[in-house]
Structures are given as C-alpha cells and as structure tokens.
Chains A and B, each alone.
Chain A
C-alpha cells in the first residue's frame, strides 16, 4: 500500500471521526394549568425554522398509541418509521411514562445536544389531552443565548416552564 495513503487513512480514522456531541443538561420545571381531564401527553423536541423535528428530547405518556393525539409529532413518527422502532423510545431520555394532570407539576431533566443549540432552532413543547384541544406549540422558544434563563408561559395545558442549569 502506498505509505501516503496508509498514513492519511490512519490520520483520518484517529482524528477526524465525528466527536460525539456533548449535551447540555438542564432541569425544567413544568407547571400545568388547572385543566380537567386525563393526564397530558407532552413531547419536547428541537425543531428547525421549518418546524421539522431534529431531535426529540422527552416524551411523557406511557401508551404510545395515544401519541396520535399529537398530530404533528405523530406524522413525524410515522414518516420516519419511528413509531414501530423500539430502539427510538429508550433513546428519548425519560419516557418515564406517567403523565401529569391539571394543576400538577413535574421536574424534567432534559439533555439537549449542544450542536443543536442555536438561535435558528427552537425547543417545542407539544401537548395533547384526550377529548380536548391539541397544542402544537404550547410553548416554543428559540434556542438562542439566554434561552434557559427565562421563564415561559404556555398557550395550552402548560402554565409555565422554568429552567435551572446543572453543574
């Protein structure tokens, strides 16, 4: 083998493999409004400017057949064959199941890949409750600077969210 080729291959295999993206870890306090009804299905995803799902960070809801109550997310799952992909679910940090209902609060721990955190991307909180309105953007905010130092008010079932960064 050509020694030049050999070394260049070695070089690339050692140094230019993609470095796994580091995650930003934040705790998120999610307070629900005092609505009545079943527990809310929530998914937290990073989306781009066109609203395409780049990464799903968190899903709340233990029966995935009910994910159809969140039409946008459902479309994404179906289009990318993620619904039947068992490997997809454990990848979502904390498919902890238990939904939370009206007036309840829960602290979520979110891991967001740092390479996705840019002002052109947004973090979307999508919510749905059985027999009630669906909110594609219950909360959606740009992942620019200081994105996690603010408090956000929800449009739907989420009253507000608030973050605290982990050390």
Chain B
C-alpha cells in the first residue's frame, strides 16, 4: 500500500510541476553554461593571493585619472569604476598591473530575458512565488523518488549492485534518480531559500554592529580573497571615508590613518543566502557550474523518461479500481506493481468473454473476499523487488487468514517476472504454496511462470486455461 501511495504522490507531484520544471531546467542549463564559460574569460584571474589589495589599488591609480571604487566578481574579475583616458565607466582591470582590459558590458538582453524567465517566468512577484513553490515540489519529488528507489533496490547498500530492469527508460530513471538525488535536492533547496528569503524577518538578516576588533585598518593586510567591494572617499573632503565590504563583514574607516568608523559582521541568514546563491548559480566555480548543468539536464531527462514510463503504468493505476461486485463464479485476482500484470489480466478477461461468453469478476489481491457464488479463482501476479508482493497484493495473506467458505474453491496461479532477479516470481510461488496447503482450495492447473512478459508463453497459458474453463 505504502509504495503505491508513494508512487502516486511522486507521479502527481511530477505531473503538476513538469512544465515549470522543464522551463526552469532549460533556462538553468543556459545560465549554468554562462557561469561555466565566465570562469575562463581573459578578465578572470587566478592566484589573486599573490598580490595585495593595496598593490592593486596603487597600480590602478597609476593608470586612472580618477578612481571611485574597486570590486571583485565571483569569477575573480576585478572591476574599477573610474575615469580612464577621459572615459567615465566601469573597467575590468588586471589586478597585477592595474591596467584596464576592457569596459564592463551589461549582460545581453537575451541573458536578462532568460534570467527573468528562470526567476519569475516573466510574471514578476507571482512568478517568483510559483518558481519558489515549484522548487519545493522538486525537493519533494527527489525525496519520494529516492524512497521508491530504495524500496525497489531493497535497501541503501543494494544501490551499488547492478540493476535488473528491462525497460531502458525506467532503468535510467532509477539509476539517475539514485545518483542525482543529492544535487537535485541541493539545487531545489537553494532555489527555495533564494525565493523565500524575502519572507525572512529582517532582524535575522541585517548586519550587526560589533565591537571594534582592530582600531585601524591597513589595506596591505586585506587579501583579495575576502574582497567584495571597496569604495574610495568621494570628492576632495579630507575626512572622507573608505568603505570596505568583505565576504563576512563591512568596515568603514577614515582615509589617511585608517581609523575605524564602524564595523559590522553579516548574520548567519545572510551568509546562508550567499552560500545558497553560490551553490545555485555556480558563479565563480567552474566545477559547480558544470555539475549544475548536468543536474538540470538530468531533470529534463527525468521529465521525459518519467512521462514515458508513467504513461504505461500510473495512468492505469489512477483509473478507478475494478470491484468484484457482480458476484461472478470465476474471479480474476491480480497483483500488479507497475500496471503490466493488470494489462495481462484485462486481456485474459476479454479473451474469456469473446471465446466462452463468460464474464469474469476482477479484483486486486488486496481486495480478495469470498462470496457464495465463487467457484474458481485465477490469480495473476508479479513480484516486487526482493521477492516481495506488489503494492496492491500486500494484504493478500492477511485476507487469506480471515477467509471463510463453506465450499471448495478451485484455483490456478500465473506468475509474471524476470529471471534476471534471483527471486524469480517468488510471490506467485508463495501464493501457490499457501493455497496448496489450504483445505478449501483445490488446484485446477499447475503454477505457470512467465519470464520477461513473453507473449508466446502468455498465449500458451491462456489457451490451457480456456480449455479448462470450457469443461
């Protein structure tokens, strides 16, 4: 029961979010690609730790007529706002020589559009809420999916064993599901946090003033690695102040002697935001950016393979269940995990109707119950995982324990499975064994097992059964 519910939840979550996730993934792949590419631009510099901020500043000042501020991008590009050769602009500079490389260009209109689509679906605030909510659905999808994989594989340690599955899309869905679980959860959670951050109480996020740790700031001791932005004093005011924003603190100090004016450190929630942003965008880290692109491509494949696999199974499972209301003398019982066995059961029912003109009652093994008219029962069942019953057959033995009948019932069992599993058709064998031992049940045809949904074997079995039912 539990697995069926989980699968249904997984399926419903997927169906309701597929379109949005697809949009977010496609745009995310592009944005991740750009973040990856940015790391290799000629304006990005490595080994920034070999030069001090003070050296960079004095080199920059030698090239610029005026300088207003210097900042570092996540991709380790140094940007100076100032006047260079009579041009007032933002320039990328070489941190070692201080020389301008090129003007900072705004992101293309296309990039902005993709970013807006990714963050808010062009729907502004409503869109931001939807995107945040869909990110949450993504996390839930990853968890329900992972639980299903664990169940299917028979525990955490079985994840490393080769998988037995014939449907290639289902197989890939499972394998990708187990390996991409963590990246997908991280991507989803950081997405949720970045969308929900606006709802967090400001008091948790505002920087807090701290007692002065140092009385003076010496720019020669400030490493590039911590730099976010440094604003120079504006105008000719000799009491002008420097404002230095580092990753975890912001300090304001006087020019000249470097006396501290204020000192603030960022709060945990703010650092969490910065960290989420880093993980979610991969900006400044080619490895993370690459992994993000792989993750979103995997999500696109999850959507594709999920729809492909679900089209055969979940759609069927979501149909209203058939009941044994009609009290037919012959009852067809089925145990089906993915819907394949149910498909076989329905084909058999149709065949009996067309060849013999007999209507069969049909019910899930879970719903088995005796009734006065019942004479024969034909059981079709698959086996799940390590010889366990499919979800809609789990209660069968409990139902058998309370079974009561004043007459003998004839039965026959058909097992469907794959020989690639060590416990081939184990659940069908268990039923056969239990019914064999039961005084009120009598076998009319021996247990029949079908490997890999063999059509030939199924046809053979149907003919045998129909011949028996004719009598």
Contacts and interface: CB of A to CB of B under 8 A. Distances in A.
Instruction: Note whether A and B form a binding pair.
Output: yes
Contacts of B206: 34, 36
A105 interface: yes
A159 B380 CA distance: 76
A92 to B, nearest CB: 14
Contact of B250 (A37, A96, A98, A103): A103
B125 A131 contact: yes
Tell me the interface secondary structure of chain B in the complex: mixed
Interface in B195-213: 198, 202, 205-207
Interface string A72-115: 00000000000000000000000011100001111101000000
B207 A34 contact: yes
Contact of A105 (B112, B235, B243): B243
B69 A105 contact: yes
Interface string B229-255: 101001110000001010000100000
B112 A62 contact: yes
A24 to B, nearest CB: 15
A23 interface: no
Given A62-B112, A63-B116, A164-B235, A37 B106 contact: no
A66 interface: yes
Contacts of B116: 63
A97 B404 CA distance: 79
Interface string A128-153: 00110000000000000000000000
Nearest to A28: B234
29 contacts: A27-B88, A29-B234, A36-B202, A36-B205, A36-B206, A37-B198, A62-B106, A62-B107, A62-B112, A63-B112, A65-B124, A66-B124, A96-B106, A97-B106, A97-B107, A103-B245, A103-B250, A104-B229, A105-B231, A105-B243, A107-B68, A107-B81, A130-B124, A131-B125, A131-B198, A162-B234, A164-B234, A164-B235, A164-B236
Given A105-B69, A107-B234, A109-B88, 18 more contacts: A29-B234, A34-B206, A34-B207, A62-B106, A63-B112, A63-B116, A65-B124, A66-B124, A96-B106, A98-B106, A103-B207, A104-B229, A106-B81, A107-B68, A107-B81, A130-B125, A131-B198, A164-B235
Interface of A: 27, 29, 34, 36-37, 62-63, 65-66, 96-98, 103-107, 109, 130-131, 162, 164
